[in-house]
Structure 1
Amino acid sequence: MRSIEIISIPVTDQQTAKEFYLKLGFKLIVEAPYQGGANWIQLGLPDGGTSITLVNWFPELKPGSIQGFVIKCDDLDKTLAEIAEKGITVGSADKTPWGRFATVKDPDGNAWSLHGK
């Protein structure tokens, strides 16, 4: 094994979630028809190796159940300002002994921790 390639993010509405993640700064890698009328929507960050796919076909994965995945930012304050300019609500930055973190949630409540200086 070498790396984590794709993480499934459970969502209610794939298109709504896709628009949120694009606004957040993700780039579309693939969008193609999938099973049962769903789409395979895969997105990634510009410099990241791991990507995400927006899923609605795993009954055991409930939309909003993902918490605590961390996105590294070079400049957290700049990132928070850019996100706010796009109309995305983000929590305030908390300082911990291991860095500064702020939480952003997608439309379903999946929470991401933004981490940076």
Structure 2
Amino acid sequence: MYMKLEVTVLPVSDVDRAKTFYEALGFRLDLDKAVSEDWRAVHFTPPGSECSIMFGTGMTSAEPGSAQGLYLAVLDIEEARAELLGRGIQVSEIFHDAGGLLFHGHESGDVTHRLEGQGREPGPHPERASYGSFATFSDPDGNGWVLQEIQQRFPGR
């Protein structure tokens, strides 16, 4: 069976504010269409991605800011972070996990779901291992994004 994740819907409180943010982020605007005051769809695609995001009026009943752990794969975490900072996006410092995995609760530093040996450590992964270095940011509503450095994918990906 062939399946591909195509789009994810983000809950936002102010469509125009979100649109301005994702334009500043460098995402490509694919669609901004309103059919009434009760329904508007805004569709963006991150550079190089086949999966897109969509938000708008009448799109979802989820609370604004409730989407967390949205991953963006980048080739160079330092370069990506610098570019986003240059675009006016507030991005966390780069970090890695002491145990080699990204622990649950990365967006808030939640320690209740960590495995033994895990811990958020400053800086990129010491060996710059793929999947090992991260930085986070949020949109104006608090939807949480994670930059993850991936230079070489696991086999089969």
The structure carrying a bigger strand percent of its residues is 1
Instruction: Decide which of 98, 101, 104 is 2:134's aligned counterpart.
Output: 101
Runs of 4+ in 1 over 6 A off after TM superposition: none
Give the aligned CA root-mean-square deviation in angstroms.
Answer: 1.6
| Distance of 2:56 and 2:20 partners within structure 1 | 14
Matched length: 117
Shift of residue 57, structure 1, vs aligned partner: 2.1
Structure 2: runs of 5+ lacking an equivalent: 101-130, 151-157
What residue number does 2:145 align with?
Answer: 112
Write out aligned runs for 1:58-77 (5 A). Answer: 58=59, 60-77=61-78
TM-score by length of 1: 0.90
Structure 2 counterpart of 1:4, which letter? L
Deviations 1:42-100 (A, max 9, x none): 00012111111013425630000011011001111011111111221111111131411
33-42 or 102-111: which moved more?
33-42
Equivalences for 1:45-56 in 2 at 5 Å?
Answer: 45-56=46-57
Q: Which has the larger radius of gyration?
A: 2
SS in 1 for 2:133: strand
Query: How far has the Cα of 1:38 moved from its partner?
Result: 3.5
SS in structure 1 at match of 2:84: helix
Work out which structure has the larger RCO, using CA pairs closer than 8 Å and 6 or more positions apart in sequence: 1
% identity of equivalent residues: 32
Q: Which runs of 5+ in 1 are unaligned?
A: none
